[in-house]
Amino acid sequence: MSHLVVAISAHGFGHAAQIAPVIGELARCAPALRLTLVTEAPEMLLRGRIAAPFTYVAHAADFGLCMRSALEIDRATSIERYRTLHADWPASVEREARFLAALEPDYLLADVPYLSLAAAQRLGVPAFALCSLNWADVFQHYFGELPGAGRYVEQMQAAYNSAALFIRPEPAMPMDWLDNAVSVDAIARVGRPQPDRLREVLGLDAPGRVLMAAFGGIDLRPPVESWPTAPGDVWLVPDSWSADAPGLSPVGSVPMPFVDLLASVDCVLGKCGYGTVTECVANGTPFAYIPRPDWPEEPYLTDWLQRHRAGVAVESDDLARGVLGGILDRYGIAPVERTKTHGAAEACELLLQNMRLSGRVARK
């Protein structure tokens, strides 16, 4: 039985959301494959998205960026952590290699910790990367002018290029410096639309509309209590917001899987993260997003959203001032067409071929 270790960045929920459908396809097509997930992303999140059995190991090989909120980066803390990691790069790789060796992997798949890939190279373990972004480009974007930054970027890029493949699911950053890149279609889960059941659970009359706030695992708490709502409308908000006002309901109060909720609401409000963007398009759910002009991945996500006519930018001042009541009418948000995506199956097939495991994915 081959053993695949999957290292997942825990910067928000986006990396877990992106890799989970691929892991599910691998488990379906190669059921004898043993899976170990190495990450600080919540175990319950992963078990809710991956039906196959796996071992969970709480460990972080990277941190991506330290955040002050869902929209604001903690630049000072981030650069200090990068300096610590790269101060003695060979020693950092050796420590991670010892950790990885104890798991006895036959293969490594990273989304997308570069230290895990460097450790796999150190051990001679065949490794693969999958992500729509990489931390080398993100680091270069924010910190490229700092002394010593060029050396850090070279070490990151070398680690990414050490992988047998770097699979880029659309929409993705260009990553032109990669020697091993291969592109696949977008990766997204598809839910079961149940708008009538959702409205029944929430006690809504037929004209009522349901909107959901989802910020991808990094807290952002706008003044939702002051948001005026159109008559009959309800906002589903994260349980952690502890919101108590008319027209607000915690997501956890609705007994439906999250992806079914996303497929059933009239609109999602959030930041542009890969999982939210692709799942809204795949499920035909309009997405009202708070722009992050300094986030280097955002232009590629928003361009893709616009091609599918599924996204509308919302003024961040409107979020802060609490004037998002009636958002559908205010921004002219209309229903969108569901779009089939095949990235999980395509990525799975590439991995099976390169791991020389039996099984072939049939495109749905």
Structure tokens at 302: 């928003």
Of the candidates 39, 209, 44, 183, the one whose C-alpha atom is nearest the C-alpha of residue 108 is 39
In a domain, 337, yes or no: no
Q: Tell me the C-alpha distance between 209 and 28, whole Å.
A: 37
- Per the structure, the complete domain to which residue 313 belongs is given by 195-330
Which token pair is 81?
């952590």
Residue 71 in any domain: the answer is yes
Question: Do 95 and 143 reside in the same domain of the chain?
Answer: yes
The type of residue at 84 is T
CA distance 97 to 102: 9
pLDDT of residue 320: 60
Angle at 218 between CA 213 and CA 222, to 5 degrees: 50
Q: How many domains does the chain have?
A: 2
Q: pTM for this one?
A: 0.90
Q: What are phi and psi of 271, to 5 degrees?
A: -100, 160
Say yes or no: 10 and 107 in one domain.
yes
- Identify whether residues 165 and 224 lie together within a single domain: no
Tens digits of pLDDT across the chain (364 residues) = 899 999 999 887 889 999 999 999 999 999 999 999 999 999 999 999 999 999 999 999 988 898 887 678 899 999 999 999 999 999 999 999 999 999 999 999 999 999 999 999 999 999 999 999 999 999 999 999 999 999 999 999 999 999 999 999 999 999 999 999 999 999 999 999 999 999 999 988 767 789 898 876 555 666 676 665 666 788 898 888 777 777 888 888 899 999 999 999 999 988 888 999 999 999 999 999 988 888 999 999 999 999 999 888 887 666 666 555 566 666 677 778 999 999 999 999 999 999 976 444 333 3
Asked whether residue 362 is assigned to any structural domain, the reply reads: no
Q: Report the pLDDT value the prediction gives residue 72, as an integer from 0 to 100.
A: 82
Alpha-carbon gap, residue 271 to 8, rounded angstroms: 20
Residue at 276: amino acid letter: T
Q: Do 209 and 302 belong to one domain?
A: yes
Nearest to 222 by CA among 208, 207, 235, 204: 235
Q: Are 201 and 265 in contact (CB under 8 A)?
A: no
Give the whole-angstrom CA distance, residue 218 versus residue 240: 11
Do 182 and 200 lie in one domain? The reply is no
* 213 and 293 in a common domain: yes
Structure tokens of 86? 């790269």
* Tokens standing for residue 314: 């919302």
Residues 24 and 163 in one domain: yes
